[in-house]
Chains A and B, each alone.
Chain A
Amino acid sequence: GAGVSQTPSNKVTEKGKYVELRCDPISGHTALYWYRQSLGQGPEFLIYFQGTGAADDSGLPNDRFFAVRPEGSVSTLKIQRTERGDSAVYLCASSPYGGTNTGELFFGEGSRLTVL
């Protein structure tokens, strides 16, 4: 499809397990963002990639969270030793350029993570 694709759409895991969430941005978009949305709240910024490099990872809550984008396209958000508080919808967005002053972000439908 032409939009941002995220897999899995739903992931249930046990506390302490490792999870990976994948994002396929719109083809040609150099900027990629990860946001986290807890129930009933607005999305919170996690990390921003421009090309292959993480240009801003100031939103990652702690060192259990890590994200990569090795070829400047697909990105994977990795969460180690999951905790119940990590339960949320993880949203990926892409943009042709980057930075909030350049226009709209195109969001995927999110990956809902539930940690039991």
Chain B
Amino acid sequence: AQKVTQAQTEISVVEKEDVTLDCVYETRDTTYYLFWYKQPPSGELVFLIRRNSFDEQNEISGRYSWNFQKSTSSFNFTITASQVVDSAVYFCALGEAAGNKLTFGGGTRVLVKP
């Protein structure tokens, strides 16, 4: 069975601080996909990134960066120089290679204070 664990339930930072969100996953599949989604107060999940299990390159997109380490089954997400607009709940998710569903973690609420 697939499982995603986000151990941090809530993180509070002051604007301009960096914040790292942890994600640990479990799967028996050799091919799988990892995702991060952002859920602002409006409730709509917004896609941030998709990574397949064969690509362990770290990725940077603006103030966002992702660290994928297959050896530790982790896919961590860092927001650099956080802003108030980054306040949201962030979900890590795991997708089956041949399937159709995502398994989500419990989410981490990020609160960025001005």
Number of interface residues of B (CB under 8 A): 27
Contact A42 B91 (CB under 8 A): yes
**Which one, A43, A56, A100, contacts B91 given CB within 8 A?**
A43
Of all chain A residues, which has the CB nearest B92? A42
Interface of B is mostly: strand
The answer to whether A44 touches B104 (Cβ under 8 A) is yes
Which A residues from 73 to 116 make CB contacts under 8 A with B? 89, 91, 93, 98-101, 103-110
> In the complex, which residues of chain B have a beta carbon less than 8 angstroms from the beta carbon of A104?
35, 47, 50
Q: In whole angstroms, what is the CA distance A31 to B37 when docked?
A: 19
| A-B pair number, CB within 8 angstroms | 71
Give me 18 A-to-B residue pairs in the complex whose CB atoms sit less than 8 angstroms apart, sorted by A's number. A3-B44, A40-B107, A41-B107, A45-B101, A45-B103, A56-B101, A89-B43, A93-B45, A100-B96, A100-B102, A101-B33, A101-B95, A104-B47, A104-B50, A105-B47, A107-B37, A109-B43, A109-B44
* Residues of chain A whose beta carbon lies under 8 Å from any beta carbon of chain B: 3, 31, 33, 40-45, 48, 55-56, 58-59, 89, 91, 93, 98-101, 103-110
